[in-house]
Amino acid sequence: MSENSKRARGSNLYLMGCMGAGKSTVGQLLARVLGRDFIDLDEQIVVRAGRSLSKIFADEGELGFRQRESEALRQVAQRNNIVVALGGGAVLRDDNWGLIQQTGVSIYLKVRPELLAQRIESEPERPLLLGLTPQQRLQKLSEILESRRERYEQAEITLENERTPAEAVAAICEALGDEWGISIVPVALGERSYYIWIKPGLLRHISTLYERYRLGPRAAIITDETVAALYGPQIEEGLRRAGVETLVLSISPGEAQKSLRTAEMLYTRLLTAGCDRHTTIIALGGGVIGDLAGFVASTFLRGVPYVQVPTTLLAQVDSSVGGKTGVNHPLGKNLIGTFYQPRCVFIDPEVLKTLPKREVWSGLAEVVKYGLIRDPALWARLEEKFEDFVQRPETLSEVIARCCAIKSEIVSADEREGGLRKFLNFGHTVGHALEAASDYKLRHGEAIAWGMLIESRLSHAKTGLSASELERIEKLLARFLKPSLEPINHERVRELIRRDKKAHGGRVQFVLLRAIGDPVLCDTLSEAELTLTPIPSPEGGGGRSGGGAGGEVGVSDI
């Protein structure tokens, strides 16, 4: 992508390019993301003329059509903050081009002739291509592109648009947001696509982003008492300045609040306050708040919009993305929930400065997971700079963006965990059981670290993970905090594993590794193999400690 740093005087966004470049498709999605109206200039011409483009060309010739095009553009350009898909030749007239430069930012969607021809193969009514064979159409498209190349390349932003619409929109938003230094990650789910915005200090812009997404005149912030004291006033004041009526619903912190009882209390408070389907719920907090607020949003009045504003590392790299919502049940973690996607996710890495170090460690466990299941380069980076990330979490912006990109790729391909998304559960089958068996005294990430270690050892035994890679995994995971807790009953852990929500047909499903970055699903473990492998103690490095005598095992020496 190339970009001129000089911004146009106007606020409109004009998409330009040849037929088949994706101007309308990308433009509609871009408008929805930015909270703007979308206008297709060709559609405006058709509506005003009461005839199709082909009929206008037949009746009035190209000259007549271009005159109508200029008139339509002059009308459209009187508006502000809109996204406009221009006809392919609209920019050729100097008066049109001058008007575009005065009233907005020009964005060229650049596509090869071969791909253009492929995209419009099923559209025989293109006026400039009528009656041509496929080979002639390709030749004509090449000639059109060459004749317009000089003007197209004068656009302020040029985007090589041989990607999905969601990726194209993310790239445009990133270019438009360069002055903020924002990373934008798309989650491509068709009509329910959304974007993850990542930038240090982003919370200071929350009112602008809220307005951009047209999230409505009323917001209910669901948070916990700790986060409310730190960031609640800043967000509440920002929204109120934007004219948003704000309701703050604060609960006690902790996993115990992730329950149907708490959800019912929140429903009552929302109803008592008169909240309706136009109320947007903002999940401000860590994974517990994100899961709980998302569940409430998905079920309150059969679904209201919600936004994720994660404030822990674990939530920023994992739980705030992908649309999994839920609450716990006495018989297990996350057994009651929904798939319900947020409208957007706003991530501010600066908030990590206020996290207790134990929470940073917990979040880094999920970062480790992404390296192990998808990105050996990320894994190697963690091996090299692990302590630096612990000591200075504000340096994690790039890592957060990479983890979000990995999860986005997986969720976009498999939203409801039918196949690929299951790999995100590496370490979670055992980890969730340990977490519940500890009565949630273990942080989620701490439990997942134990789960990854146990499942890595199972991988060495069952799926060919090499001894050298297992040693690397053991060495890194041995650095994690190991709080001193009461012993955990081994049999209870095994029973919780058997009741794991991913089990099917009486079989427990595990994600194992063939190698770092190469996961595989496995549901053929024997009962003996389900016996938990001891985890090294803090001083034990990669070695194995004893433990588990009498059917119990202490977390500090599992």
Active site residues: 302, 324, 366, 407, 417, 421, 425, 428, 432, 444
Q: Strands 518-522, 510-515: parallel, antiparallel or unpaired by DSSP?
A: antiparallel
Look at the block and give the residue holding tokens 């009045």: 301
Look at the block and give the residue holding tokens 């898909």: 85
Q: What residues form DSSP beta bridges with 157?
A: 3, 107
Q: 3-class SS at 112?
A: coil
In angstroms, the CA 146 to CA 352 distance is 50
- For the chain, counts of helices (H) and of strands (E): 19, 19
| Nearest alpha carbon to residue 308 among 202, 461, 458 | 202
| Nearest alpha carbon to residue 9 among 115, 133, 102 | 102
In angstroms, the CA 96 to CA 59 distance is 23
Query: How open is the CA angle 192-197-199, to the nearest 5 degrees?
Result: 175
- Burial call 51-88: b when 16+ CB within 10 Å, e when fewer: eebeebbeeeeeeebbebbeebbeebbeeeebbbbbbb
HSE, CB side, 13 Å, CA atoms: give it for residue 204.
Answer: 6
Look at the block and give the residue holding tokens 């997404």: 213
Q: How many residues does the chain have?
A: 558
3-state helix, strand, coil in the chain (%, to 5): 55, 15, 30
Classify residue 3 by burial, with Cβ atoms within 10 Å: 0-12, 13-18, 19+: middle
| Nearest alpha carbon to residue 150 among 105, 92, 93, 209 | 92
DSSP E strands, 86-160: 104-110, 157-160
* Helix (H) or strand (E) run with residue 167 in it: helix 165-176
DSSP code for 243: T
HSE, CB side, 13 Å, CA atoms: give it for residue 179.
Answer: 5
| Nearest alpha carbon to residue 41 among 3, 78, 68 | 68
Residue 453 near residue 447, CB atoms below 8 Å: no
In this structure, the number of other CB atoms found within 10 A of the CB of residue 212 comes to: 15
Phi and psi (nearest 5°) for 285? 160, -160
